[in-house]
Structure 1
């Protein structure tokens, strides 16, 4: 099955909600609002309105069978990440993956485990290129 790609770029607030839905699965507005409120004060009606807008945009699907509507992500996490990363790479690093990686690795301490995982990924990519 092909991954469903977002029709357009989610806003930062929409992405926060999508991340909760990807992590926790189908959820009520109350649950999403409670989770968002752990990090910043967020009103229930604000969360509800945002999720209604996300439904109109096709980012989430809504099950209206019960008293409380249950929302689930309608777009795939990996497809969304790829789209956002591609756009970020093009606009910020003029399409250069090397510049992106150099900046990311140069800005913080990278653990030995992370470096080993990067080496393994590079080895796999090198093997696929042959």
Structure 2
């Protein structure tokens, strides 16, 4: 049975997108050198991942002096929003409240993050 399509970038694709968002348009060689995964993926694996991302529309490429230069076509915000929307739908049965409740009970939430969340809630009440 065929595997259903992934709702967003895979872990490896997300790693490459983060590098492109941080460093801007890059060649396969540059991205391969920037990856800090262990074990480091083979150059050809990075190249294959980028081709798949090109097919999915996550990146575009242009040729620059015999090398393909890849750039992200999706923003960090778009990817985050899609991922959160998918998470709310699949895990929290469509309830954003349940997602926020789970997030607030996470011991990694800092006081500064809690203050920012409160400010966002206050802003949304004023609208």
Instruction: Name the residue aligned to 1:98.
Output: 97
Instruction: Name the residue aligned to 1:55.
Output: 54
Instruction: Name the residue aligned to 2:4.
Output: none
| TM-score, normalised by the number of residues in structure 1 | 0.85
Within 5 Å, give how 1:83-122 maps onto structure 2.
Answer: 83-122=82-121
Instruction: Name the residue aligned to 1:81.
Output: 80
Cα distance in 1, alignment partners of residues 62 and 90 from structure 2: 37
In the comparison of the two structures, how many residue pairs are matched? Answer: 120
Aligned equivalent of 2:37, options 33, 36, 39:
39
User: Relative contact order (alpha carbons < 8 A, sep ≥ 6): 1 or 2 greater?
Assistant: 1
Gaps of 5+ in 1: 1-7
Cα distance in 1, alignment partners of residues 42 and 84 from structure 2: 30
Residue 107 of structure 1 and its aligned partner are, at CA, apart by 2.1
- Deviation string 1:44-90 (CA, Å, 9 cap, x unpaired) is 01001110121122111101132221100011221121111101110
**Larger relative helix fraction:** 1
Q: What secondary structure does 2:67 align onto?
A: coil
Gaps of 5+ in 2: 1-6
